[in-house]
Structure 1
Amino acid sequence: MGLTSKKVLILAVVIAVALFIVTIWLWPRLSGRNWRTVLGRVGLLLVTQISLFAAVGLFANNSFGFYASWADLFGQEQEPGVVTTYKTGPDGTQLQTLGSERFSIRGAGRPDVAGRIDKVLIRGEQSHITSPAFVYLPPQYFQRAHAHRTFPAAVVLTGYPGTAEALYKKLHFPQTQHDLHKHGKMQPTVLVMMRPTVAPPRDTECVDVPGGPQTETFFTKDLRRDIAGHYRVGPDAKSWGVMGDSTGGYCALKMTMRHPESFSSAVALSGSYKAPLDATTGALFGGDKQLERENNLLWRQQHLPAPKASFLVTSSKQGEGNYRDTLKFIKGTKSPSQVASIILDSGGHNFNTWRREIPAAMEWLGGRLKV
């Protein structure tokens, strides 16, 4: 049974409850002061506490999508199979479709009604990174009236470590777009949903690490090329946006600021404004202080020319640690860049807060992408 299986969660809860009952029942019998009864009490408390923490941890993981599998949890993630050859498109792009995913929209069995989510493997020719992604194709993509239509696209990123499945199972990005379009608030857009952790378990913060994973190149060049070569998506920056939460939000802002030739618009849900340097990231900049400064978004605003791009940032007056930096980012934005914000009175760094922001954020993003 998988880490995110409901059966695993139910089993963990049952075990925790059972051990609690056993502890209450056996406690009077272990009230003596000899070493056996003392060890018995310690053992009961230990296993009960572990079972309780396991149940709470599994519930939190199922709710917020931190880890997708046991291998992911223990830093030993393994994708199904080892892909060494790829289907090559007529323009040289390399992308392998692994199948379609189930999702909750009425009429989900009919792509021309609900759209379709493809699971794909993207192989970066320049970055030499291979990573899975989930591509949502809106219903119009399959409708005869739009058979020759080219669509805009948005890369949607999780935080770190995150699971890409959470983007459509928990945060409901495809479902939200479907509802917005139905009410005339968003144009049909192809969503490329994935996590920024394309070199697991390392948190690369979408940086081209000197001597390491070329993550920025993967997102700004390889991914766009492969998706546009395989699907009817506009190839130019005006057709592409990027949106993310937490680490994904930082990536969205940073990649659009550094590569306006790749992305024209960015949305950061509770995003940070510089990359952390810790055990999960390692030496991201290889000791290159200038590269480190260039990846600090507030520094870029003060010292480098502003790109021609649009940015939407979100925060909360209470509950978010990025509130002050968000205000600095808004104030520091210079023409020709444009900036907008969603500032809540309160809201934590979690899925519930982002669900409140996603509909307005997607409507904003959809209004800026052109084909």
Structure 2
Amino acid sequence: MLVPPMSVPAGWSHHQGVSLLDGWFPLTVQIAAAVLLVVAIGWRTRRWRLIWLPASVAVAVLGAFLVHLYFDSQGLATDPAPRSLWIWVGVTVGALGVAVFGWRSARWWRRGVAIAVVPIALLATGIVLNQWVGYFPTVSAAWGEITSGPLPDQVSADDLASMRNTTRTTGALVPVTTPDSSSHFAHRTEYVYLPPTWFAGATPPTLPVVMMIAGEFNTPTDWIRTGDAMHTVDAYAAAHHGSAPVMVFVDAGGSFNNDTECVNGSRGNVADHLTDEVRPYVISHFHTSSSAASWGIVGWSMGGTCSVDLTVMHPDLFSSYVDIAGDAAPTAGTTDQTLSRLYGGNAATAASFDPVTVMRKHGPYQGISAWYDDTGGSPTRGHHPGGAGGGGHHWTRSAPSGGTGLGGRGEGPDTNDQGQAAQTLCAENRTVDIACQIHTQPGKHSWQFASTALSVSLPWLASTIGVPGA
């Protein structure tokens, strides 16, 4: 049975403010861009109407097509983008064309309007893109991310000693610089959440840990700022006398647009960083449990794929995972693209990070459990290899994809949507004695769904990894 999402307590303000996902602000920006573009175009001369205005329209269509083509070739999305995104890309490029091609025939004030409409149209495009992925829920959240504003309840590691023997109503967030001496993976600052009970005594209790992994385009603060993880875990702690897991918000990308899928490959030795550097660092610096039974992983989108991979590859380090709308295997486009981008063409390395292949090679597991959460509403866009009882991904050269999914995901013969991926992986789990359950909820592939999925799955995960009082 699904546990309902926790309610937002009074006074919670991290996601309050002017919405970027709906309401008056997005509509106002779009209307302003459209009106200003019409004014910038004007009637003007016959030459403008017959030559330069059609040229601006042609540039707009070409620009939208090229951006769409870039998305498609780089594997930049799991689900197809809304048509409105390509429309607004075209409007933005077209506005730039109007400003350039119509400069000589425009009066001074129309030139000013033509210049002004370009950034406003670009803002409208960004809003549509954000509505698709749900990255920034409000203007204040976007501003905080862009300006690297303070995170909720952030404290310095140097202050922790003075905070011992205190009673807190919320946890504390500590920025940490984990080593990279083993992986040589150039990562950004990572963060550790310490629940109220961590501060209660003279020495820290030995608590379970949850590793939090974000999606493809990510920063280590995404689960905190956009995924609302601090509110979710604080609410859980408030309902359990201050007890909650320690959470470590890791960097699985190194940069915002580096889709590593948490593998060791040409984009960085991310798996080694998470298992050989982050995990020992958290244990030694925060006195957490070192037992695999006390370590779980929560991942969203790309991070969901990571959660499966890391657990089945390292059952001596992790015992439970929550896969929120992840793929069936590390994916960075079509099979050929993934093999090239992630593994430098090395099929053996690719196979070593394929969850189904790993599970079948390992055989029966002990004490491992899995939770899959997906929107359950996206149509199948491809054929998964072998279905629920079939083989894993076969890392061989394949013919060019003829699918229609955006960004390579769901395009080739070896990929499918996340709902089917959950069915496939759970079926494979059961053949090797991994207890699993699948949950589907309404929503789309966005951070808002990820946030809800975290609040729904956290009580189960806390119980599974042995949080006191769970």
The amino acid of 1:355's aligned partner reads S
Deviations 1:293-312 (A, max 9, x none): 23222333444414332111
Query: Does residue 142 of the first structure (1) align with residue 199 of the second (2)?
Result: yes
Q: Secondary structure at the match of 1:112?
A: coil
Who is 1:55 aligned against?
A: 124
Identity percentage over the alignment? Answer: 19
Who is 2:6 aligned against?
A: none
Who is 1:34 aligned against?
A: 47
Aligned length: 331
CA contact (8 A) 1:100 1:118 kept: no
The amino acid of 2:95's aligned partner reads L
Task: State the Cα distance separating 1:195 from its structure 2 match.
Answer: 3.9
Task: State the Cα distance separating 1:39 from its structure 2 match.
Answer: 3.6
Distance 1:34 1:171 in 2: 52
Task: State the Cα distance separating 1:122 from its structure 2 match.
Answer: 1.3
Task: State the Cα distance separating 1:113 from its structure 2 match.
Answer: 2.0
Indicate the structure whose relative CO is greater, using CA pairs within 8 Å and at least 6 residues apart. Answer: 2
The amino acid of 2:135's aligned partner reads F
Question: TM-score when scaled to structure 2?
Answer: 0.61
Larger-Rg structure: 2
The amino acid of 1:239's aligned partner reads S
CA contact (8 A) 1:256 1:265 kept: yes
CA contact (8 A) 2:218 2:256 kept: no
The amino acid of 1:293's aligned partner reads A
Correspondence for 2:308 among 253, 263, 271: 253
Distance 1:281 1:155 in 2: 26
Give the stretch that moved more between structures: 333-342 or 321-330: 333-342
Distance 1:21 1:287 in 2: 50
Give runs of aligned pairs for residues 221-300 of structure 1, distance below 5 A.
221-278=276-333, 282-300=340-358
Deviations 1:203-244 (A, max 9, x none): 22111126x622111111110111111112112212211111
Distance 1:26 1:218 in 2: 52
Distance 1:291 1:54 in 2: 42
Correspondence for 2:213 among 157, 162, 166: 157
- After superposition, the Cα gap between the structure-2 partners of 1:192 and 1:59, relative to the gap in structure 1 and judged at 3 Å, is farther
Correspondence for 1:220 among 262, 272, 275: 275
Q: Secondary structure at the match of 2:178?
A: strand
CA contact (8 A) 1:313 1:341 kept: yes
Query: Does residue 170 of the first structure (1) align with residue 219 of the second (2)?
Result: no
Deviations 1:26-62 (A, max 9, x none): 555x243124885478499524476324333156449
Q: Secondary structure at the match of 2:192?
A: strand
CA contact (8 A) 1:271 1:322 kept: yes
Deviations 1:160-183 (A, max 9, x none): 112332312222112112212323
Distance 2:264 2:53 in 1: 54
Task: State the Cα distance separating 1:256 from its structure 2 match.
Answer: 0.5
Give runs of aligned pairs for residues 95-106 of structure 1, distance below 5 A.
101-102=151-152
- Indicate the structure with greater strand content: 1
The amino acid of 1:124's aligned partner reads D
Query: Does residue 352 of the first structure (1) align with residue 448 of the second (2)?
Result: yes
- Indicate the structure with greater helix content: 2
Query: Does residue 64 of the first structure (1) align with residue 135 of the second (2)?
Result: yes
CA contact (8 A) 2:259 2:332 kept: no
CA contact (8 A) 1:13 1:52 kept: no
Give runs of aligned pairs for residues 311-326 of structure 1, distance below 5 A.
311-319=370-378, 321-326=417-422
Task: State the Cα distance separating 1:196 from its structure 2 match.
Answer: 1.6
Question: TM-score when scaled to structure 1?
Answer: 0.75
Task: State the Cα distance separating 1:189 from its structure 2 match.
Answer: 1.0
Who is 2:190 aligned against?
A: 133
- After superposition, the Cα gap between the structure-2 partners of 1:102 and 1:168, relative to the gap in structure 1 and judged at 3 Å, is same
RMSD across aligned positions (CA): 3.9
Q: Secondary structure at the match of 1:217?
A: helix
